[in-house]
Amino acid sequence: MDVRPSGIHHVTAIASDPQANAGFYLNALGMRLVKRTVNFDAPDTYHLYYGDRAGNPGTVMTFFPWPDAPRGRLGAGQATTTSFSVPEGSLGWWQRHLASLGIEAARPAERLEEDVLSLRDPDGLQIELVASADFHDTDPWDGGGVPTEHAIRGIRAVTLTEHDLEGTAAMLDGRLGFRLAAEQGNRFRFHTNEAAAGVGTVVDVIADPRAQRGLVAAGTVHHVAYRAPDRPTQDGWRRTLAADGVDVTEIRDRSYFTSIYFREPGGVLLEIATDGPGFDYDEPLLELGRRLRLPPWLEPKREQIERSLPELTVPGQD
Ligand code: ZN
């Protein structure tokens, strides 16, 4: 069974105020709200999905916004940075754009032969914009104030911070099909394929034995999802992991994909999500994100759910 992943499917993080979260990802980063739904496991909380025009796998960043969530702590056992691809030559435009919105960003720095602009979202989540030549088959969104020529193409990479490299590297390399491709200091770069072409094909591991353990709350990543092309592949992957002694969940129906979850040895929660059915499964592509969508089993409770959710106004989409 080939369990080689085709890259990151989505990254899910925790936010506090949904309005501030939407403002940042839609207006500042220019992403599209591709789904407004609830956390299927806690339906009094939003689950907001941002992505390219269609929410293609590899472009999607999602949030559980809990208005009263305390600030989390970045640290070991976490995905501590999420990096997005932007076209080469765009970082100057991004610096001016972010400055015009009063958003602080570090000066671009070179790392492993790439230019990187670092910033934080309103809850302190670490974000990077990476100038990258390869941005393949995504469909950038230009409805949020970022022109297509500079728009985010998708997720470039996640960075995992770990107390030690060994266990995590063994899982990435052995079970998940990544290969160590480069290193710089205590940063170890793994690729899903030779050229690391396409979105979401890179994982960096920072090995830091002295790092404090991370605390998952607002401003931290909850889990990282990798792509399975279809349900039989996902099922094969699940059986392989289980046979290897990994504690992996049953397949769960997330409406827009199905999912399995497990932890890598350093503690980061990982998911394998199918590419389909996709975000136009329950509303037309042109109308993605405009209305609250609920899975069939929560639809009977719509009134109660809507009453419990905080107000959320999305410019141009309401
Ligand atoms: Zn997920």
In a domain, 314, yes or no: no
Structural domain count of the chain: 1
Mean pLDDT (whole number) for 267-296: 96
Predicted pLDDT of residue 259: 98
How many whole angstroms from 92 Cα to the centroid of ligand 1?
A: 32
pLDDT digits (tens, 9 = 90+) for 222-256: 999 999 999 999 999 999 999 999 999 999 999 99
Sheet order of strands, 109-111 included: 109-111, 114-120, 126-132, 78-87, 154-162, 202-207, 187-191, 179-184
How many whole angstroms from 188 Cα to the centroid of ligand 1?
A: 24
List 81's β-bridge partners, or say none: 159
In a domain, 32, yes or no: yes
How many whole angstroms from 23 Cα to the centroid of ligand 1?
A: 21
For the chain, how long is the longest CA-to-CA vector? 54
Predicted pLDDT of residue 173: 86
How many whole angstroms from 283 Cα to the centroid of ligand 1?
A: 20
Instruction: Tell whether the model's pLDDT for residue 1 goes beyond 50.
Output: no
In a domain, 232, yes or no: yes
Q: Which residues contact 96 (CB under 8 A, 6 or more apart)?
A: none
How many whole angstroms from 158 Cα to the centroid of ligand 1?
A: 14
How many whole angstroms from 10 Cα to the centroid of ligand 1?
A: 6
Q: Residue 168 is part of a domain; what is its CATH number?
A: 3.10.180.10
List 51's β-bridge partners, or say none: 32
Q: Which domain holds residue 267?
A: 8-308
d(CA 223, CA 225): 7
In a domain, 286, yes or no: yes
How many whole angstroms from 171 Cα to the centroid of ligand 1?
A: 19
pLDDT digits (tens, 9 = 90+) for 120-176: 999 999 999 999 876 666 899 988 889 999 999 999 999 999 999 999 999 898 777
Predicted pLDDT of residue 188: 97
In a domain, 313, yes or no: no
Tokens of 77: 């056992």
> CB of 164 within 8 A of CB of 171?
no
Q: Which residues of 295-314 are buried (b: 16+ CB within 10 A; e: fewer)?
A: eeeeeeeeeebeeebeebeb
Q: In what helix (H) or strand (E) does residue 168 lie, and over which residues does it extend? A: helix 165-170
In a domain, 315, yes or no: no
Beta strand ranges found along the chain (DSSP E): 8-15, 32-39, 42-51, 60-65, 78-87, 109-111, 114-120, 126-132, 154-162, 179-184, 187-191, 202-207, 221-228, 252-253, 258-263, 269-274
Phi, psi of 278 (to 5 degrees): 100, 170
How many whole angstroms from 107 Cα to the centroid of ligand 1?
A: 31
How many whole angstroms from 239 Cα to the centroid of ligand 1?
A: 19
In a domain, 89, yes or no: yes
Predicted pLDDT of residue 121: 98
In a domain, 1, yes or no: no
Predicted pLDDT of residue 318: 45
d(CA 48, CA 265): 28
Mean pLDDT (whole number) for 15-30: 97
Residue type, 207: A
Helix or strand or coil: residue 23? helix
Predicted pLDDT of residue 32: 97
How many whole angstroms from 174 Cα to the centroid of ligand 1?
A: 22
How many whole angstroms from 225 Cα to the centroid of ligand 1?
A: 5
How many whole angstroms from 260 Cα to the centroid of ligand 1?
A: 9
Going by C-alpha positions, the residue among 85, 219, 56 that lies closest to residue 158 is: 85
pLDDT digits (tens, 9 = 90+) for 75-128: 999 999 999 999 999 999 999 999 999 999 999 999 999 999 999 999 999 999
Does 57 sit behind a cis peptide bond, omega within 30 degrees of 0 on the bond before it? no
Instruction: Tell whether the model's pLDDT for residue 194 goes beyond 70.
Output: no
How many whole angstroms from 79 Cα to the centroid of ligand 1?
A: 13
How many whole angstroms from 209 Cα to the centroid of ligand 1?
A: 28
> CB of 47 within 8 A of CB of 250?
no
How many whole angstroms from 272 Cα to the centroid of ligand 1?
A: 8
Q: How far is C-alpha 197 from the chain's CA centre? A: 18
